[in-house]
Structure 1
């Protein structure tokens, strides 16, 4: 059963919002627990990496939101 495009977009939007909130809380919690005594450059590298990493699951959600390609 294929979901209507509007419903797919709504569900995907909610999933992305939840992903960003949970990911941000998790990233800050890990940073607080493991990097408390680290140098500033370690914090910078960590937050650069984790700031980009959330895009991968978001891309999968967006791809799902777009639906199947025409002709399939």
Structure 2
């Protein structure tokens, strides 16, 4: 059985997504830093969780070669 090329490509995409997301959130720090502390906390908790959403289809593609769930 030959190894799949999808896993290394998927790992690279995951790392790229994390880096892009970190830069995007960090670029907002000047604006977010002016908000009340509780609102900042909610913002950073939300942005710390929301980056995980695109990972499920990506991980499914890495394992199966399909983006969506199988029909049937």
**What TM-score results when the alignment is normalised by the length of structure 2?**
0.78
Select the structure that is richer in helix: 1
Unaligned 5+ segments in structure 2 are none
Q: What's 1:17 paired with?
A: 15
Unaligned 5+ segments in structure 1 are none
**What TM-score results when the alignment is normalised by the length of structure 1?**
0.78
Task: Point out which structure has higher relative CO (alpha carbons under 8 A, 6+ apart).
Answer: 1
RMSD, aligned α-carbons: 2.3
Give structure 1 regions of 4+ aligned residues with deviation exceeding 3 angstroms: none
How many residues align? The count is: 67
